[in-house]
Amino acid sequence: MAEQAPRGQNNNLLLFLPEAARKPTCRKAIGIEVLCTSGRAVKGGVPSDQEVHAIMMKREVVRNLMVAAVLCLSSDTAQAKDPFMNPFKDIDMTLFGMVGGATFYDKRNFISADEKYKSSYDVQPRYVYGTGVPLTKLLGLEVAYSTGPANLRATNISLSPRAGHVYDVNHHTASVNVVLHGPAKFFGVRPYVTAGWDYNRFAPTLAAKMFANSQGFGAVSAATLTYTDKLGMNAGVGLEHKISPRVLLRLDARDHICGSPTYGLPAQASSSAIFPVAGIAHNVEYTVGIVVHIGKK
Confidence at residue 82, expressed as pLDDT on a 0 to 100 scale: 54
Confidence at residue 267, expressed as pLDDT on a 0 to 100 scale: 87
Any domain includes 1: no
Q: Do residues 141 and 133 make contact, with C-beta atoms less than 8 angstroms apart?
A: yes
Looking at 81, 106, 139, which one is the last position of a domain? 81
Global pTM value? 0.68
Residues 120 and 267 in one domain: yes
Residues 71 and 200 in one domain: no
DSSP summary character for residue 31? T
Residues 96 and 209 in one domain: yes
DSSP symbols for 130-178: EEEEESSSSEEEEEEEEEEE--EEEEETTSSS-EEEEE-EEEEEEEEEE
Residues 153 and 237 in one domain: yes
Any domain includes 5: no
Query: Considering only CA atoms, which of 236, 225, 231 is closest in space to residue 258?
Result: 231
Amino acid found at 141: L
Residues 158 and 285 in one domain: yes
Residues 65 and 106 in one domain: no
Residues spanned by the domain of 122: 92-295
Residues 190 and 68 in one domain: no
Distance of CA 149 to the CA centre of its chain: 23
What is the spatial order of strands in the sheet that 26-29 belongs to?
26-29, 33-36, 41-42
- Give the chain's domain count: 2
Full pLDDT tens readout for the chain, 297 residues: 444 444 444 444 444 444 444 444 444 444 444 444 444 444 445 556 666 656 676 676 667 666 655 555 554 454 445 554 455 566 789 999 999 999 999 999 999 888 899 999 989 999 999 999 999 999 999 999 999 999 999 999 988 788 789 999 999 999 999 999 999 888 889 999 999 999 999 999 999 999 999 999 988 889 999 999 999 999 999 999 999 989 999 999 999 999 999 999 998 887 789 999 999 999 999 999 999 998 876
Confidence at residue 41, expressed as pLDDT on a 0 to 100 scale: 42
- Does the CA dihedral 249-251-255-260 come out positive or negative? positive
